[in-house]
Structure 1
């Protein structure tokens, strides 16, 4: 039994109806010399991306709340549902002294029956800040608006579209899901700057990794990841990280109903995809820490018996992945975490309450997370 129409499982969270999210319940570690977590950003509407720059500036994106322009989409039962979109997603900057401000607004697409989709992950190349933004599907009743399924560059208070991943999906459909099954679908969610100066997109709707030239907007396929999690074609890639040698690692959420243990991190070397770490659940990000280890974010757990919103609260975690793919949980009890970023000291910034009432999202700083022992 599916909570959403089957095709909608392609998309990465938080593409779910808004619910009241619980607060962080705390971690169980016993290392007293490490400072307590600190909330560093608040009032967010479904935070999805975090990144900290060398000068200590924190960048955050959120999903927004949709808008006033409407469209319809199939409900999977022969009828339609109404969605909407508008410029309510935000790019937020927190300066080292703690000042939080909205830098730019971007498109938020409120997908009918699912919820808002806006800003995704963040990447920096030189002085330029880029974000992945929003979802679009060929089955929606109106043409794709600007900034949907796109890579955006933040220019002052403006967001400039650099690349249209929906156009690439419509022309190529790498996962081969037929259009009449909702197969022309692109969610530009994961984003990372590669060692070659190019941008890399984890398309959670298209089930693939794309390379984007930030100067020209040209898009090329790196690898299709369809069928990698045992949940049909819907592997739902969510995050990208690189090793020192340029090896790419990609986190996979898995498709619905998000079976426990189906999520994984895969390794891509020269276009060849292989499993790196398996047996995890609902991964929403993977990042490399300054200690050289990868850290994966587990959103939580899906339980169809839990009620009308079957995402179990306060069971999210951060998992350290060692060089051989061994796993150790270093944080648990998190409330719907979606992304993680590190500074050079090993402090981790985690976006939490990725679903929840508008304004309930936040970013929490965990000092010296790279020193946390396994729990």
Structure 2
């Protein structure tokens, strides 16, 4: 996501998630407790960011890719005089795993690799029997002609895609949060109103897309969140960085917020967005929340990327948290390596992308059977 651009003196926009790969490689890895290893569904992935399970048991995976041979330069970040060279190519992909376990790449999509890590396909959702994908973060210095399927909502049509909407075009024209144009089409869910709902992780807003016309409508903007005890030279607030979006049975949208640097433990939360766009906190005290899904048991489940310590992110500290009515939190899985998304089948089995902020080729999708029936771990908050 443009989520974890973690250089504290720069922090441009959505404070991008995939930069954790570089940080992880420079950290000493601790040995946290592992609650369960899970069953491997797919492996050899490059920072997978999304997983979806169809009614027939087919698993769809959004993979970030590794950039490519094309290049362009971006303007210098604030506080820097050097532009960044971005490498791009169609190395991101949507992977299909059939119920028998056979996997295949269905379509390739743009992947951009800059100073930190690659960003590409983000999330997959289904509406009206069609699959849709959010794809990538916009990068200053590029053009729509170069990257027509970046910062975009796409429809999967067999082995090709059709662009439904471009979130960068909307952001450039409107800039709803008034913090400068930037866009990363990230979270995606089919709404009960027949529209697709998108979290723009870089623009800090929630959008509604008409799948027939591609028209984008602003639902709400998320305000910056205060930073507790900011250090010298640190900003007093962090961008909220909306990630997952999910629906229960009350017609409201529930959105997880990361938020950005310095990734203070307990600073993430889930916000309930009513049909009129008004917002209330639903669950607080989460940490680096990257996704949110409704389980077949009627509860919300959040993926937490992990803890961010003084030396950077601590490997193996990711978790899955069940959020019951009233915002009551229960950790049901712990010891995960940078989980970025989760999905459920009708039985309550969970499919989780791990290694979402790790070295290329190390990403996986793992399955935990009957997760919705699993008791909370003793260390639950």
The one of 100, 109, 129 equivalent to 2:112 is 109
Q: In terms of mean alpha carbon deviation, does 328-337 or 225-234 score higher?
A: 225-234
Seen in structure 2, the aligned counterparts of structure 1 residues 8 and 302 have a Cα distance that, compared at 3 Å, is farther
CA contact (8 A) 1:202 1:237 kept: yes
1:345 aligns with 2:359: no
The one of 211, 214, 219 equivalent to 2:216 is 219
Distance in 2 (CA, whole Å) between partners of 1:224 and 1:319 is 25
Shift of residue 233 of structure 1? 5.7
Distance in 1 (CA, whole Å) between partners of 2:219 and 2:308 is 30
The one of 285, 290, 296 equivalent to 1:284 is 290
The one of 285, 295, 305 equivalent to 1:299 is 305
Stretches of structure 2 that go unaligned for 5 or more consecutive residues are 228-235
Runs of 4+ in 1 over 6 A off after TM superposition: 21-26
TM-score of the aligned structures, taking structure 1 as reference length: 0.90
- What residue number does 1:143 align with? 143
1:248 aligns with 2:245: no
1:324 aligns with 2:326: yes
- What residue number does 2:87 align with? 84
- What residue number does 2:233 align with? none
Distance in 2 (CA, whole Å) between partners of 1:136 and 1:250 is 21
Total equivalences in the alignment: 357
- What residue number does 1:33 align with? none
CA contact (8 A) 1:84 1:109 kept: yes
- What residue number does 1:28 align with? 35
Distance in 1 (CA, whole Å) between partners of 2:67 and 2:226 is 30
Deviations 1:326-369 (A, max 9, x none): 11100000000000000110000000000222211000000000
- What residue number does 2:230 align with? none
Distance in 2 (CA, whole Å) between partners of 1:83 and 1:152 is 23
Seen in structure 2, the aligned counterparts of structure 1 residues 128 and 160 have a Cα distance that, compared at 3 Å, is same
Deviations 1:280-314 (A, max 9, x none): 110000000000000000001222x32xxx22100
Seen in structure 2, the aligned counterparts of structure 1 residues 210 and 293 have a Cα distance that, compared at 3 Å, is same
Per the alignment, in what secondary structure is the counterpart of residue 49 of structure 2? strand
Distance in 2 (CA, whole Å) between partners of 1:280 and 1:226 is 17
1:51 aligns with 2:57: no
TM-score of the aligned structures, taking structure 2 as reference length: 0.89
CA contact (8 A) 2:307 2:317 kept: yes
Matches within 5 A, 1:157-306: 157-177=159-179, 183-228=180-225, 230=227, 232=237, 234-269=239-274, 270-303=276-309, 305-306=310-311
